Structure 1
């Protein structure tokens, strides 16, 4: 085998007046025709040759794999020669280096063309011009890949900020956001929005949200639900722009939370998801979390805070960052499934379960029970809403101990609970009794069915029928279910459970009302 280096890559004018191939080559620069494989296949047909385009590392980019001399390929890729012409028996071979403009002599790809006939002037023209087009297409491809990597890195950074907010680490979230989005999280409060479209269109929806909010919001592709985009917007204008966006996109829905402290981003997220369920039935496909009466609003605030502090007291000995991490994870784990909570937080589901198991052990709470989950959820939300409780409140001596049964035993709460559950009494299917059996069975339809003597599918259908009557999502768990459980505790349809050992230091002993 013999070889000679060419003087350099040339781009001569079409030879002999044959310019049909130039028009075809230009067609590969049109937006619809920019494809390396199609261009290499065209070259193979036009010059009646076998063609291979490989990267500097030997990876095949297009065409067919050809046996090449490693030493000659190394000379071309290193830039020692820009092109080489070889003859191996009956095979005539040309190698051309495809380079970055202004990036030095090294080639980022090699075009190899082998054919039985020698390379004439016309064939050399076609190869030279094709190499120039390949250079443009490779450059465009690399720029597109760089853009994808940048968008992916930006999306990962946005998700990291959201995850910091979810675990109440607002200081770190602001620090991370400050570099790319100055002022985004300067305010202490924000609203959380969740938009729902299709999984296929989710990326376009997220890009549209970024454009619509013009840097005034944190836009994140939800790590837990493929159809969702999460938006954290400090300004009220963000909500208006998102509503306009949804109005112009059929099949898209928007749920929003009320304004919440940044430390309550996880709570606001749950509220936005609840509002999203309502938005599916609104003509404008948008809804904000309803400001309906909550059981906590009907309790004595000081007594409620004292009770919540007593429930969570076993966690107070933990380092502050560990305690905050455990509580934030448990709050999300109680609101959503462990799998979805793990995706939102960016940890494994085993980590979520381990943290929740640790909290359950410290609190002496069996979180497999619906009543225990509702009580711990109430305690966590009370602390999140009101901050750390001062046990003395400025007065000497320890605070008066409050038990949950005492908190629930008020006329205001009884009126609220009866009003809520009483909506089910007019249905002839005994929705109220079925719901009571279902929550007593910790939301297991099969166990509730055994207690009622009906089929499990009947239980499921009745629970789903109760949802629009109560205006609450029950089968999905979370806040709506826990409110119904609290109502059943108030009316005595469920027993008030105890947390921890039944001694004088525990906030609740096992009490049946």
Structure 2
């Protein structure tokens, strides 16, 4: 082995320089004191510690240029991470990786090589920084290599810390979603238990509001982070699994609503829809209200809206008759175990409110699971969900059932005098409400009311309605879309708004009451 200009005698073919934890501090101290560290290269090396310069490939390329040679970085398996492949003595590499030596240097046919061990965070193995050049390594070149290895270690630690923070954030996001999914299926006890570990007191409430914030493309992650910041973790903030631009916020307190409104004011292209206060068990209902309000917010100057406390049809029905009818409709599900029954009811409620795909994403199950559960409910209720009038009255029963809670109901078989759906929807108050609602359409010369009635009778299928009316399917869609602002309700997307309009058609006699005791053909 040839002699070295750094003063280390060539007494063996393997020399080691032990690098310990204080090396970085000594480097910084010598630079501050104006010692033998060359300021230009030290400043260039420090540039790679800036947030915008943390790139291992660029750092290794800088090292090669600075020492006028070649440099490479490989991991403990020998995989090349940066720089060109260099022929290395594998016995030295093995000793570096296992920690037997900290560095090594040798001459090979006119090439001077230096290897430095780079510790990898949280592992016993290490990476190897290799530098080769034609001239021997003087003190300056040796210090550059040593300090570069220390910077590589710092970058690895920073990257590991960033990755750990990212994994923690992903785990927290998954946990928030799990809590929301538990609330959606009315499992408030489990939701509180899960939340108590990371967010104590978050769900120590009986009621909450749900807000849905809509952002522009590619802005949702930043929006969710800002929602968490302004609510100071006093609300459950979840990136909606069904809609790519939506952030769902479940908040027990009133202050979060005002904070979210202030957020909308300073972010262009962002909208906010909120629900009225609901019990935690009705989180799914509150979510539907927030989505409905969001559609209104898009047309308002302040870009925010809260679900209108308008007159809902169930409030115009005889409460006792509605309760008895609901119990009667859902009686066939009472034979199921409590957990199974709750799961089927919650899934069906969401499946009627949204598409099967969206409901599946919200619940964290497959769309086939959602459809299978809804088909099971169809079979138990002996009905057909392809009929919009059936969907509307079952939706009415399910929402009424949530309000009943654990209230005891009389068992037994159906008896004479128990209310039927036609009787329930024939009250004078409900009929007056329905006539006023649908009467808004009568002033349009396009006969929107006839188109809407035919479209509902066709199960919301524009093509079938068009065949009945003798018009183009696009004309049907345009008529239905034109009816939405007049009725102040969303119709083209399934949900509470559409079902209220369907109930209004049955109450006025424009559509016949559905048969809930007729099995789906081929079921």
Q: Do both proteins adopt the same fold according to a TM-score greater than 0.5, normalized to the shorter chain?
A: yes
Per the alignment, in what secondary structure is the counterpart of residue 443 of structure 2?
coil
Q: How far off is 1:88 after superposition?
A: 4.2
Q: Deviations over 1:447-469 (max 9, x none)?
A: 11111111111111111111101
Distance in 1 (alpha carbons) for counterparts of 2:482 and 2:50 = 57
Q: Where does residue 222 of structure 1 map in the other structure?
A: 240
Per the alignment, in what secondary structure is the counterpart of residue 386 of structure 2?
coil
Q: Deviations over 1:57-88 (max 9, x none)?
A: 44443333444444432321221111122444
Per the alignment, in what secondary structure is the counterpart of residue 4 of structure 1?
coil
Distance in 2 (alpha carbons) for counterparts of 1:66 and 1:493 = 84
For structure 2, which runs of at least 5 residues remain unmatched after alignment? 2-11
Q: Where does residue 189 of structure 1 map in the other structure?
A: 207
Distance in 1 (alpha carbons) for counterparts of 2:166 and 2:301 = 36
Q: Is the 8 A contact 1:91 1:115 kept in 2?
A: yes
Q: 1:4 to 1:307 in 2, by over 3 A?
A: same
Q: 2:160 aligns with which of 134, 142, 164?
A: 142
Distance in 2 (alpha carbons) for counterparts of 1:313 and 1:88 = 88
Q: Is the 8 A contact 1:3 1:84 kept in 2?
A: no
Distance in 2 (alpha carbons) for counterparts of 1:86 and 1:163 = 62
Distance in 2 (alpha carbons) for counterparts of 1:349 and 1:471 = 30
Q: How far off is 1:399 after superposition?
A: 8.7
Q: Where does residue 204 of structure 1 map in the other structure?
A: 222
Distance in 2 (alpha carbons) for counterparts of 1:414 and 1:54 = 79
Q: 2:331 aligns with which of 313, 318, 326?
A: 313
Distance in 1 (alpha carbons) for counterparts of 2:451 and 2:319 = 33
Equivalent residues in 2 for 1:346-425 (5 A)?
346-388=364-406, 390-392=408-410, 400-425=417-442
Q: How far off is 1:483 after superposition?
A: 0.8
Q: 1:251 to 1:320 in 2, by over 3 A?
A: same
Q: How far off is 1:247 after superposition?
A: 1.7
Q: Where does residue 5 of structure 2 map in the other structure?
A: none
Q: How far off is 1:267 after superposition?
A: 0.5
Distance in 1 (alpha carbons) for counterparts of 2:442 and 2:170 = 53
Q: 1:437 aligns with which of 427, 444, 454?
A: 454
Q: Is the 8 A contact 1:166 1:345 kept in 2?
A: yes
Alignment of 1:455 with 2:475, yes or no, is no
Alignment of 1:45 with 2:65, yes or no, is yes
Q: Where does residue 144 of structure 2 map in the other structure?
A: 126
Alignment of 1:62 with 2:82, yes or no, is yes
Alignment of 1:113 with 2:150, yes or no, is no
Distance in 2 (alpha carbons) for counterparts of 1:400 and 1:62 = 83
The normalised TM-score by structure 2 is 0.90
Distance in 1 (alpha carbons) for counterparts of 2:341 and 2:211 = 27
Alignment of 1:246 with 2:264, yes or no, is yes
Q: Deviations over 1:79-122 (max 9, x none)?
A: 11111224444543322112268x79x45432122334433322
Distance in 2 (alpha carbons) for counterparts of 1:455 and 1:214 = 52
Distance in 1 (alpha carbons) for counterparts of 2:356 and 2:253 = 31
Q: Where does residue 4 of structure 2 map in the other structure?
A: none
Q: Say which is worse superposed, 262-271 or 132-141, in terms of deviation.
A: 132-141
Q: Where does residue 153 of structure 1 map in the other structure?
A: 171
Distance in 2 (alpha carbons) for counterparts of 1:392 and 1:442 = 34
Q: How far off is 1:5 after superposition?
A: 3.8
Distance in 2 (alpha carbons) for counterparts of 1:5 and 1:201 = 54
Q: Is the 8 A contact 1:336 1:477 kept in 2?
A: yes
Distance in 2 (alpha carbons) for counterparts of 1:300 and 1:361 = 28
Distance in 1 (alpha carbons) for counterparts of 2:117 and 2:87 = 17
Q: How far off is 1:147 after superposition?
A: 0.6
Q: Is the 8 A contact 1:97 1:107 kept in 2?
A: no
Report the count of equivalent residues: 498
Q: Say which is worse superposed, 66-75 or 256-265, in terms of deviation.
A: 66-75
Q: Say which is worse superposed, 305-314 or 164-173, in terms of deviation.
A: 305-314
Q: Where does residue 327 of structure 1 map in the other structure?
A: 345
Q: Is the 8 A contact 2:96 2:126 kept in 1?
A: no
The normalised TM-score by structure 1 is 0.92
Q: Where does residue 363 of structure 2 map in the other structure?
A: 345
Distance in 1 (alpha carbons) for counterparts of 2:386 and 2:208 = 33
Q: 1:163 to 1:117 in 2, by over 3 A?
A: same
Q: How far off is 1:192 after superposition?
A: 0.7
Q: Is the 8 A contact 1:392 1:398 kept in 2?
A: no
Q: Is the 8 A contact 2:210 2:283 kept in 1?
A: yes
Per the alignment, in what secondary structure is the counterpart of residue 94 of structure 1?
strand
Alignment of 1:295 with 2:305, yes or no, is no
Q: 1:318 to 1:280 in 2, by over 3 A?
A: same
Alignment of 1:7 with 2:25, yes or no, is no
